[in-house]
Amino acid sequence: MLFSFTRSYFHVDLAHVGEVVKFLKTILPLKRVSELFTVLGRAKQGKTERYRELFGHLQQSDDEFIPRAGRRGLVMICFTLPSFDVVFKLIRDKFPYQKNILREDVLTKYELVFKHDRAGRLVDAQEFKLIKFPRSRFSASLLEELQKEAARTVHFEGNDLIIDHVYIERRMTPLNLYLRSASREDAEKARYRIRPGHPRSRRHQHLSGRPAAEELRCDAPRPRDLLRLRRTVPRHGLPFPRDPQSQHDEDDMRADAWFYVGESDVFPETFINSSGSIRT
């Protein structure tokens, strides 16, 4: 969890970052090298390694790119390769009337998230340009959508499909889909993971030293960001347990917590807002 792709980068002054990545790989064998470089603040090297991983995987697999599971996006076309755990996101040529924004606005927002806003609403995404894929690796339905909805971004050269601009990020499960198949116990746990807003929580201790949960609270997620279809469930996450209710007046007067608090537990109901009152 400490080196998760859902949290802010470390900014570490290392003479040989490759040696650190090699060491981390020995204790985190399932973590991709690209994510280790990225989380250590080497975004360009992480991007290069992700490119190598992706096209190395394409040479060893034969499944097709398909639309990502979940509700169709109004701004982005999202697709994935089932055997590779990332999502590809292309900006649509036109947006419906509900979205009063321009393509340039979308690009600006992604740039803001990457450079400045590290405790907001988007999971870490890497920007790629002019990527060439074999046309045969795309499902018929996805090819049709790309040709119809993203003609400004996608074109063909012989047997290849060229994508002029795309964002790539780790694949996660939309919360509304997860809840359909999860057990009641798992569904209750998912409701309290540290994933408010469109997914992008960050490291437990942000650069300011404040817990990630406080960073998110200060970021003030919008009401529509709390919809289940706009939240996701990662493999790991911080639980948000309910604030325990005391049975005795003496408990409320104690200096320390009278109930058990685990190392990763966060109680949003106890956050203090700017006026000094309890946030509920």
One pLDDT digit (tens) per residue for the chain, 280 residues: 677 766 667 777 888 899 999 999 999 998 999 989 988 888 899 999 999 999 999 999 999 999 998 888 889 999 999 999 999 999 999 998 888 888 998 888 888 777 765 554 457 788 999 999 999 999 999 999 999 999 999 999 999 999 999 999 888 877 777 778 888 887 777 665 534 333 333 333 333 334 444 544 555 444 444 444 445 555 554 444 556 666 677 766 776 666 666 666 656 555 554 444 444 3
pLDDT of residue 76: 93
The residue among 171, 203, 227 that closes a domain is 171
Are 132 and 165 within one domain?
yes
Q: What is the pLDDT of residue 255?
A: 67
For residues 55 and 138, membership in a common domain is answered with no
Q: 44 with 108, same domain?
A: no
Specify whether 189 is located in the same domain as 152: no
Tell whether 220 and 158 lie within a shared domain.
no
Shared domain for 129 and 69, answered yes or no, is yes
Q: How many domains does the chain have?
A: 3
Q: Does 139 fall in a domain?
A: yes
Per-residue pLDDT, 192: 52
Residue 279 lies in a domain: no
108 and 152 fall within a common domain: yes
Task: Give kind and range of the element (H or E) at residue 159.
Answer: none
User: Of the candidates 129, 155, 171, which is a domain's last residue?
Assistant: 171
- Is residue 278 one of the residues assigned to a domain? no
Q: Do 151 and 73 belong to one domain?
A: yes
β 76-81/84-91 pair status: antiparallel
Q: Assess if residue 275 is contained within a domain.
A: no
Same domain (yes/no): 109, 188:
no
Task: List, in sequence order, every residue forming a beta bridge with 87; answer none if it has no partner.
Answer: 80, 169
C-alpha distance from residue 24 to each of 13, 20, 29, 183 (Å) = 16, 6, 8, 34
The domain of 23 spans 1-60
Best CA proximity match to 124, nearest among 173, 75, 169, 77: 169
Pseudo-torsion of CA 209, 213, 219, 225, nearest 10°?
A: 160
> Would 277 be classed as within a structural domain?
no
Per-residue confidence (pLDDT) for residue 198, from 0 to 100: 35
**Separation of alpha carbons 136 and 209, rounded Å:** 49
Instruction: Report the distance separating Cα 161 and Cα 9, nearest Å.
Output: 33
Radius of gyration of the chain (CA): 21
Is 42 in contact with 58 (CB distance < 8 Å)?
no
Residue by residue, what is the 3-state secondary structure of 194-214?
CCCCCCCCCCCECCCCCEHHH
pLDDT of residue 228: 45
Domain-located, residue 113: yes
What is the 8-class DSSP label of residue 151?
Answer: T
Q: What 3-state class would DSSP assign to 265? A: coil
Give per-residue pLDDT as tens, 177-208: 777 888 888 777 766 553 433 333 333 333 33
CA distance to 61, 223, 244, 247, 264, per residue, from 261 (Å): 46, 28, 10, 17, 8
Q: Are residues 185 and 126 in the same domain?
A: no
With H, G, I as helix, E, B as strand and everything else as coil, classify residue 61: coil
Last residue within a domain, chosen from 60, 77, 104: 60
CB atoms inside a 10 Å sphere around CB 20: 17
Residues 2 and 48 placed together within one structural domain of the fold: yes
User: Is residue 78 situated within a structural domain?
Assistant: yes
User: Which residues are marked as active site?
Assistant: 124
What phi and psi values does residue 89 have, to the nearest 5 degrees? -125, 120
Residues 104 and 11 in one domain: no
Which two tokens mark 6? 């859902």
Q: Is residue 45 part of a domain?
A: yes
Half-sphere exposure of 100 (CA within 13 A, CB side): 0
